[in-house]
Amino acid sequence: MVRPGELSVDSSTNHLRTPSRTVTLGRIQPQAPTYRTVYCNDRDSNYLVRLKCLHGNSISTTKYNVFTFLPKGLFEQFRRIANIYFLGISCLSMTPISPVNPITNVAPLSMVLLVSLIKEAFEDWKRFQNDMSINNSTVEVLQDQLWVPIPWRKLQVGDIIKIKKDGFFPADLLFLSSINPDGICYVETANLDGETNLKIRKALERTWDYLTPEKASEFNGEIQCEQPNNSLYTFTGNLIVEKQTLPLSPDQLLLRGCSLRNTEYIVGAVIFTGHETKVMMNAMNAPSKRSTLEKKLDKLIITIFCALVIMCLIGAIGCAIVTDRDHFYLGLHKKDCEYRNGLTYYLLVPQIAFFTFFTLVILFSTIIPISLYVSIEMIKFIQSTQFINRDLHMYHVETNTPASARTSNLNEELGQVEYIFSDKTGTHTRNLMEFFKCSIGGISYGCGITEIERGIAQRDGLKIHEEQRSTGAIREKGFNFDDPRLMRGGWRNEPNPNLCKEFFRCLAICHTVLPEGDESPEKIVYQAASPDEAALVTAAKNFGFFFYRRTPTMVSVRESHTEQMGKIQDVSYEILNVLEFNSTRKRQSVVCRYPDGRLVLYCKGADTVIFERLASGMDDVRKVTGEHLEHFGSSGLRTLCLAYKDLNPEAYDSWNERFIEAKSALRDREKKLDEVAELIEKDLILIGSTAIEDKLQEGVPTCIETLSRAGVKIWVLTGDKMETAINIAYACNLINNEMKQFIISSETNAIKEAEERGNQVEIERVIKEEVKKELKKSLEEAQQYLRTVGGPKLALVIDGKCLMYALDPALRITLLSLSLNCTSVVCCRVSPLQKAQVTSLVRKGAKKITLSIGDGANDVSMIQAAHVGVGISGMEGMQAVMASDFAIAQFRFLTDLLLVHGRWSYLRICKVVMYFFYKNLTFTLTQFWFTFRTGFSGQRFYDDWFQSLYNVFFTALPVIVLGLFEKDVSASLSKRYPELYREGIRNSFFKWRVVAVWASSAVYQSLVCYLFVTASAFDGKNSSGKTFGLWDVSTMVFTCLVIAVNLRILLMSNSITRWHHITVGGSILAWLVFAFVYCGIMTPRDRNENVYFVIYVLMSTFYFYFTLLLVPVVALLADFIYQGVERWFLPYDYQIVQEIHRHEPDSSNADQLEIANELTPEEARSYAISQLPREISKHTGFAFDSPGYESFFASQLGIYAPQKAWDVARRASMRSRPKAPKKN
């Protein structure tokens, strides 16, 4: 047992380390103050813990179970206002004031509820099956000195289990031992945080031996640890083995959801199971979003409701006027009214009017389309699961990732996006770095031409011949360099071969990369914290300095051509110190000892920091290298400067003492380390610089160009430096030189001066002033440009620090109006929080529809803040995807997602909504007109069943087919004419004007159906002079209505498939069949046999057929004329496009043609880049993604994000262990 005091000490030190909060994926949960004790290998003792976690290791993500399904599901359904409304109507219709049988309202409502519940049940069933398959996967657990496979769900706290290579951890485990002798294992945490580089976990030395089943069964440690919580990067606890207390850290924790890599097997003890695991505690439901269109739909529904109230008021007033005892046949003078005579009679009239009002509410309740929501839901569900998820155009072959709509609520929102907020890395760029050029000792090497340069040249009208690559040029991942002067030992003949040698050694030694796999140049795999690093090491390999092995103290390099051509020798350098990279230092150094005892410091970093620290007398090289850097930068390359310094052993030793001291400091360790590093990183000798190409994602410039033609404005929000961001913006065609750029940067002199003075309050004031001034000035200028016709487009570049102040409520409006006037906006150096703030600024401030796209954990907040969140799936991990509404594999698939699926969905949903509105209005209005002729009594016009089945049966399917198959123009044309998308941004199809057109159409059609039939049905209607009654007339009207309303679908469809014919014909036929059956039978129940035989009576007259031909034609004629005139005089854009391509067959053939004509991505990219600036920009494009990047921003925000203990980058500095050659 641990003494409580000991644990509290531990937790207090923990508090020192975490001053405020820890970074978690989801909401922050208060940590339970107590701790739990887990007894390993002792199931019985753990009953206390198990009591709390009833389900063991089984998880359940279902919403309902068998018993809660009905109450909970119904409750969910009645949270919708429309369903409540119909429930109220149904209740009202049970009262005697109802003009209709309750079935009229109950039947459709139950139908709608049934469909929704079935859908819920189906989805929940799928979740359940998914859970079951997870719960039933097996894991080997220790039982009686044997590894026995059991299902995951039977796993219990305290169990000792064995995980094999590539297996997933079934629960949160305490890492006990590994087959690797140094007690480490590699885990992939992609499911957790999306990072795909491997992390190292290290078991406590004390437990290394518990590897075999025999030995492991002897293990009887006690684990005292914190209560389950959702903080992924923290863990505190103690392990008590044989009365010895050992502190535990996140290094020993293996989290559920991660998988074991590169390690044969490991053994661990279960600490948290099932829902108590950190990943499950973090499981968050993406916030449910409602589409803007749906919110507008609510407004429409409210308007309809108002119309309903007005109609009922008219009816009630009319009733008060008309109702009259003189109509003796109504029996008003009898019984119930007998005692009311004389004066009281006048009290009766308002009473009757009052009840009539509610009678009419029930009667006209059909004006609100009950099946609208459920139909839309069905349509959207099919759209997302069948169309978006299965679109071959959005399937990425290389990563084997199809698109995935994670919610079906937002399909039509995709058709109205006006602002896209995009992350840069991994979204625009592949985060795939290639070593492209370098400069050594003032000589520039590398003859490749970047795509950006090619673009510039092309725009200048120069033709670039693809230079013949020298034979045997190597091209591999991370390396795209060609220059015979350096390759294959050619550097030996260069003016400065020694400097070249230092250059290559610096590349091969000064890094924190971890080699994996076979130690041969072909098979080795470099694990690096940033892809830049891997590219540099790969470059060294190709230059003949093959880094193949790292131990905590050694770096082994296989060097060729050093002494003489062709000679190969393995050299091991002892790594004495690693001075890590961070974003303030902007550099990284390694102190190493050659086998011959030479002590060297290698350093690489940003040009500015390196140049400051050079030894004197290097001005020439420095100047030339500086020029090269500028050139590289303007070509869109990311640069780093390399330098070295020979160290004097005595000086080094004294420095090393101070270093060790700093390293073991308990307070401000980082700061002290930085200070110590400054002491040695000086008087450097410049070697040269590297230039790395950050490959753009395939098709990004084309996609961006297409989207901007579509009227979508793209903002780039990135954590990168301003220069890098601008570079990429140029490369992506977001900014070009014709644009007027407003740059608001915190790197101005005034701010710098203030910063040097160091007074926080003053700094803030100065920055605020500066930002305010800049914003005001820019806005004025922008407005001036906008007033002039044909002025340049505008672009805004702003950095995170300025943004912080610009987002201040006082300046927010200025920022917003400035940025809304700009075509492109680039925000650099922004934190995840700021990304979200900018997104909400536009979303809430400008009321525009926004979309955020990103791939990493730092994009989550932005993705959730926007109307639509899109995650890039496939390459990186799951974090962004889990928070997103749609996941696509590539940025370029946005074109398909927005221009094709979004536009179609928008169009379809608009049409569906309008059609629902129209068909219910038409139906209800015939009833309304009839009310005028019944003395406003609220008599129903149609039979109960006709009325209840109208919505759910006779007109339900065609509109769903419309919602699924409606296409104005084909997919390829949608992409070819991106401007068509603007109709969605302008919301052309869901305006009040459109509503008014449909409403007038409904008024007209209902009048035609009602008046024509009633006017002509007056006298004897067959040759034997018999007359029609009420139900004959109403059935006639109903028949005409069903036909007209169903045919209207065909008139409004732009593409009529077989399904249109089947459903439209089927609906009309269904009505007739229903009428034949329903009119042909007498039901045994007591009801008025109003419509008995009516249809047969009707069909026995010629009148029926004459009317049936006339009325629908007349009803649709007005719409036909309207459409004809509108198309001719005020054509929509899509109609013109239809006409342009009216003779083209629309099928996959056309698509194939399209693809054949399309430029290859490479060509397209170079074409797009041809819009790049002519003059050389002055920035040098330093960029070096640091592993500590996130924590840097977090600390700026006052949030402490602990350094991830398993970062590969830190692996090199782990010197705690005695030298032990790594077995492989």
Partner 1 sequence: MSSNTPSSSAAAAAGSAESSAARRNSKRPKYSKFTQQELPACKPILTPGWVISTFLIISVIFIPLGVIYLFASQDVVEIVDRYDTECIPPSDRANKVAYIQGAANKSCTRTLTVPKEMKQPIYVYYQLENFYQNHRRYVKSRSDSQLRSVKDENQIDACKPEDDFGGQPIVPCGLIAWSLFNDTYTLSRKNQPLAVNKKGIAWKSDKEHKFGKNVFPKNFQKGNITGGAKLNPNIPLSEQEDLIVWMRTAALPTFRKLYGKIESDLHKGDTIEVNLQNNYNTYSFSGKKKLVLSTTSWLGGKNDFLGIAYLTVGGICFVLALAFTVMYLVKPRRLGDPTYLSWNRIPGGR
Q: Quote the CA–CA distance of 266 and 252 in Å, as a whole number.
A: 12
Distance CA 222, CA 45 (A): 10
Distances (CA, A) of 241 to 148, 647, 1187: 25, 46, 35
Neighbours of 1195 (CB within 10 A): 13
Of positions 166, 476, 612, 1163, contacts partner 1 by CB under 8 A: 166
Taking CB under 8 A as the rule, does residue 1014 contact partner 1?
Answer: yes
What is the torsional sign of CA 705, 708, 712, 717?
Answer: positive
User: Which of the residues 490 through 519 are near partner 1 (CB under 8 A)?
Assistant: 516
Q: Which amino acid is at 1041?
A: L
> Interface with partner 1 by CB under 8 A: which range of 588-596, 756-764, 1145-1153, 1214-1222?
1145-1153
Cα gap 254→170, rounded to integer Å: 10
Pairwise CA distance, residues 642 & 506, whole Å:
7
Span interacting with partner 1, options 562-570, 573-581, 1092-1100, 1193-1201, rule CB under 8 A = 1092-1100
Contacts of 1177 (CB under 8 A, 6+ apart): 633, 634, 726, 727, 730
Strand order, beta sheet including 244-248: 35-39, 222-226, 237-241, 244-248
Render 19-52 in DSSP notation, one character per residue.
Answer: SS----SSS--PPPSSEEEEETT-TGGGHHHHHH
Q: Closer CB to partner 1, residue 621 or residue 912?
A: 912
Alpha carbon distance 53, 275 (integer Å):
8
Tell me the window of 102-110, 736-744, 766-774, 1117-1125 that interacts with partner 1 (CB under 8 A). Answer: 1117-1125
**Between 372-382 and 103-135, two packed helices, what is the crossing angle to 10 degrees?**
30
Q: Which residues pair with 435 in a beta bridge?
A: 479, 692
- Of the pair 196, 648, the CB lying nearest partner 1 is at 196
- Please give the residues from 949 up to 968 whose contact with partner 1 meets the rule CB under 8 A: 965, 967
Amino acid at 679: L
Of 627 and 1154, which CB lies nearer to partner 1 in the complex structure? 1154
Report if residue 787 touches partner 1, rule: CB under 8 A. Answer: no
Q: What part of residues 65-104 is at the interface with partner 1 (CB under 8 A)?
A: 99
Q: Binding residues for partner 1, how many (CB under 8 A)?
A: 134
Distance CA 192, CA 256 (A): 9
Report if residue 345 touches partner 1, rule: CB under 8 A.
no
SS3 836: helix
Residue 747 CB, nearest approach to partner 1 (Å): 31
Q: Does 794 bind partner 1 (CB under 8 A)?
A: no
Burial of 283 (0-12, 13-18, 19+ CB in 10 A): middle
Rounded least distance, CB 530 to partner 1, Å: 9
Q: Is 423 a catalytic residue?
A: yes
Q: Contact letters (x/-) for partner 1, 354-393, by CB under 8 A?
A: -----x--------------------------xx-xxxx-
**Which single residue is written with the structure tokens 């934190």?**
831
Please say whether the beta carbons of 521 and 530 come within 8 A. Answer: no
Give 740 or 1141: the residue with its C-beta nearer to partner 1.
1141
Q: Give the type of residue at 695.
A: K
Q: Which of 172, 193, 423, 482 is catalytic?
A: 423
CA neighbor of 53 nearest in space, from 156, 190, 130, 207: 156
Q: Which of 9, 679, 750, 1121 binds partner 1 (CB under 8 A)?
A: 1121
1020 is an interface residue for partner 1 by CB under 8 A: yes
Question: 317 or 1056, CB closer to partner 1?
Answer: 1056
CB of 681 to partner 1, least distance (A): 28
Among the listed residues 133, 400, 616, 1157, the single contact to partner 1 using CB under 8 A: 400
Contact 901, 997 (CB under 8 A): no
| Residue 348 backbone dihedrals phi, psi, to 5 degrees | -65, -35
Q: Which helix (H) or strand (E) holds 780?
A: helix 760-787
Touching partner 1, residues 587-646 (CB under 8 A): none
* Residue 559 structure tokens: 């060097």
Judged by CB under 8 A, the residue of 47, 75, 122, 1018 near partner 1 is: 1018
Contact flag: residue 462 with partner 1 (CB under 8 A): no
Q: Which one, of 955, 958, 964, lies nearest residue 908 by Cα? A: 964
How is residue 974 written in tokens? 């949608």
With CB under 8 A as the contact rule, the residue among 570, 668, 780, 1089 that binds partner 1 is 1089
What's the min distance (Å) between Cβ of 391 and partner 1?
Answer: 7
* Interacting residues of 786 by C-beta distance below 8 A, sequence separation 6+: 794, 821
- Within 10 Å of residue 880's Cβ, how many Cβ atoms? 29
List the beta bridge partners of residue 443.
Answer: 440
| 190-229 binders of partner 1 (CB under 8 A) | 190, 196-198
Quote the least distance from Cβ 326 to partner 1, whole Å.
4
Contact track, partner 1, 295-334, x by CB under 8 A: -----------------------------x-xxxxxxxxx
- Do residues 645 and 1187 touch, judged by C-beta distance below 8 A? no
Q: Give least dist CB 1182 to partner 1, A.
A: 21
Which of positions 233-292 make contact with partner 1 (CB under 8 A)? 261-262
Q: Interaction with partner 1 in 529-548: which residues (CB under 8 A)?
A: 531, 534
With respect to partner 1, which residue has the nearer C-beta, 453 or 532? 532
Is 1029 one of the binding residues for partner 1 (CB under 8 A)? Answer: yes
Residues numbered 850 to 869 that lie near partner 1 (CB under 8 A) are none
Question: Considering the complex, what minimum distance in angstroms separates the CB of residue 99 from partner 1?
Answer: 6
Q: Give the contacts of 23 (CB within 8 A, at least 6 positions apart).
A: 231, 232, 233, 1194, 1199, 1200, 1201
Query: Which residues, 6+ apart, have CB-to-CB distance to 33 below 8 Å?
Result: none
Maximum pairwise Cα distance, the chain:
128
Q: Rank residues 67 and 339 by Cβ distance to partner 1 and give the closer one.
A: 339
Query: How would you classify the pairing of strands 199-202 and 222-226?
Result: unpaired
1034 binds partner 1 (CB under 8 A): yes
Q: Is 1136 one of the binding residues for partner 1 (CB under 8 A)?
A: yes
Q: Which DSSP symbol is given to 684? A: B
Q: Which of residues 668-727 bind partner 1 (CB under 8 A)?
A: none
The number of C-alpha atoms within 13 Å of 227 and in the hemisphere containing its C-beta is: 10
Scanning 86-94, 189-197, 225-233, 651-659 for contacts with partner 1 by CB under 8 A, the matching segment is 189-197
Shortest Cβ distance from residue 710 to partner 1 (Å)? 10
Residues 1035-1064 that bind partner 1 (CB under 8 A): 1053-1059
Q: Which of residues 1164-1223 bind partner 1 (CB under 8 A)?
A: none
How long, in residues, is the chain?
1224
The contact pattern for partner 1, residues 924-943, with x = CB under 8 A and - = no contact, is: ------x--xxx-xxxx---
Among 30, 33, 472, 1025, contact with partner 1 (rule: CB under 8 A) = 1025
Nearer to partner 1, 94 or 810 (CB): 94
Nearer to partner 1, 632 or 930 (CB): 930
Q: Whose Cβ is closer to partner 1: residue 384's or residue 834's?
A: 384
Is the CB of residue 1125 less than 8 Å from the CB of residue 1131? no
Nearer to partner 1, 144 or 326 (CB): 326
* Residue with smaller CB distance to partner 1, 676 or 898: 898
1120 binds partner 1 (CB under 8 A): yes
**Cβ atoms 812, 841 nearer than 8 A:** yes
Q: Which stretch binds partner 1 (CB under 8 A): 283-291, 521-529, 563-571, 599-607?
A: 521-529
**Piece of 647-655, 680-688, 942-950, 1079-1087 that binds partner 1 (CB under 8 A):** 1079-1087
Tell me which residues are annotated as active site.
Answer: 423
